[in-house]
Amino acid sequence: MADKKIKAFLIAGTGSGVGKTTIANGIMAALSKKYKVQPFKSGPDFIDPGHHTQICGRSSRNLDSYMMGEKGVLETFARASKGADFSIIEGAMGLFDGLDSTNVASSAHIAKILDVPVVLVINAHGVSRSIAAIVKGFSEFDRSISIQGIILNNVGSSRHIKLIKDSINDAGIKIPVIGGLPKNKDISIPSRHLGLHMAGENDPETMELAGFIEKHVDMDSIKAIAGNFKSLDVEFKNPEEQFNVKIGIGNDSAFCFYYPDALDALKMSGAELVFFSPMSDPLPDVDGLYLGGGYPELFTKELEASGTRHEIKKAAQDWMPIYGECGALLYLGASLETDRTYRMAGVLGANSRMTAKLQALGYTEAVVIADSPIAKKGAVIRGHEFHYSVTECDRDSHFAYKLNRGKGILEGRDGLMENNTIASYMHTHPASNSFDEFLTQCKK
């Protein structure tokens, strides 16, 4: 891995909403004043990593054992941690919450794969001695997980913190409380339908957040816990085949959900990435097009007004390979209904509309049932879906995926195809499905 020893730990919560994201961001900000910090996010989330990247100045990476497998988690962690002083992983949901009732895809699974120490965040509002029971339960539930510090959020006073510390000590628990944060509504991050606001939207001042953490968390204890991480010896190979192609990447506020590993995989395979905005830039001279998810529903007026949608339709009719995920599915269809119906690129025979109700959330597993621009028939791809929209397709529509797990576009089918274009509600990771087939099509 890196020449110097990496210090690392995972910040987990007892559940969602306990404040671990704010605390993780604050610790990253505090350490970034003096050190190189490599951020990570457990699970498939796109939004938290954007905040991490803005704070640390290094691209945050997802670690998801369901989509990536243990090998993929190890490789991403090893690659990204090179040159860093600290690697900090923000967990998802509660520490042990994974796929269904299993450990897979949980923060605990990531901690176990990497053998990193854990700092547990607990919401202390309205609780005192009961926290000792919570800590005891979490520390003994799976003894292979090493919880080495507790941070209390929403404490009422210094006396409240002392009561909790005394209760933990009286119970014979050897895990120290290393921080107690009072409630501070000024540093919370607002939410919308797909999660927290993106980085750059109403973020608290980084230095203010860092100062708040430094005042209420023992940073020397944080560094000591991180120092208990034992460096990993991970071997990985770069792709053997090199593709000399140019790939257009939609890159703006409407199309912003990409895993850095995906863009790196394209570059390592010899692709030149050409970033452009479908809202304001013409379609660049490229051999293929990759449009990620994001918020096209917030920019329907701009997308309809841009002549780029016509250029993309022409390129699709000329058989250019086009791969789209989630938000891109809405854009590549004929129309998208929000406050009214807007015309989109018209590449696919489908019309989409936004809904107030969540339509799908969770992991997916797709069997490829027809050769497509992204995978050959028979391949199995793992991913995830999360959307507040419905897509209605033409009767003669063709689908590339049959889902063993997940909802997809229609009755367990996903991956809508037309010519050499495919778009799905499913987001994927290159550790589950490489870009080799896509790049092969682009090279042709």
Burial code (b: 16+ CB inside 10 Å, e: under 16) for 239-277 equals: eeeebebebbbbbbbbbbbbbbbbbbbbeebebeebebb
Cα 400–46–419 angle (5° rounding)?
25
∠ CA 195-198-199 to the nearest 5 degrees? 140
Q: Count of alpha carbons within 13 Å of 424, Cβ hemisphere only?
A: 31
Band of residue 188 on the pLDDT scale cut at 50, 70, 90: low
Q: Give the model's pLDDT for residue 194.
A: 43
Position 195 scores a pLDDT of 44
Confidence category of residue 332, pLDDT binned at 50, 70, 90: very high
Mean per-residue pLDDT, 150-160: 96
pLDDT, mean of residues 164-187: 93
Q: Hey, what amino acid is at 228?
A: N
State the catalytic residues.
326
Question: pLDDT digit string (tens) for 359-391?
Answer: 999 999 999 999 999 999 999 999 999 999 999
- Nearest 5°: the CA angle 333, 338, 344 is 25
| Minimum mean pLDDT range among 14-18, 89-93, 151-155, 198-202 | 198-202
pLDDT of residue 184: 83
* Average pLDDT over the chain, rounded to an integer: 93
pLDDT category at 197 given cuts 50, 70, 90 is very low
Comparing 148-162, 232-246, 399-413, the range with the smallest average pLDDT is: 232-246
Task: Dig out the tokens for 28 from the structure.
Answer: 């990253």
For the residues 175-190, what does the mean pLDDT come to? Answer: 82
DSSP collapsed to 3 states, 320-360: CCEEEECHHHHHHCCEEECCCEEECCCCCCEEEEECCCCCE
pLDDT of the residue at 207: 86
Quick one: what percent of the chain has pLDDT higher than 70?
A: 95
pLDDT on residue 397: 95
- Give the per-residue pLDDT at 419: 96
Q: What is the pLDDT of residues 86-95, one digit of tens each?
A: 999 999 999 9
- Give the chain's domains with CATH numbers: 7-227 (3.40.50.300), 245-443 (3.40.50.880)
Question: Residue 301: what pLDDT?
Answer: 97
pLDDT digits (tens, 9 = 90+) for 253-310: 999 999 999 999 999 999 999 999 999 999 999 999 999 999 999 999 999 999 999 9
The pLDDT-based confidence of 3 (bands split at 50, 70, 90) is: low
Query: What integer pLDDT is reported at residue 5 of this predicted model?
Result: 85
pLDDT, tens digit, 9 for 90 and up, residues 84-138: 999 999 999 999 999 999 999 999 999 999 999 999 999 999 999 999 999 999 9
Which band of pLDDT confidence, cut at 50, 70 and 90, is reported for residue 198? Answer: very low
**pLDDT tens track for 223-238:** 999 999 998 888 877 7
> Which is more confident, 239 or 434?
434
Radius of gyration, CA atoms only, the chain = 23
Chain Cα centroid distance, residue 259: 7
Q: How far is CA 180 from CA 159, 171, 197, 412, in A?
A: 11, 19, 26, 46
Quick check: 257 and 144 in contact, CB under 8 A? no
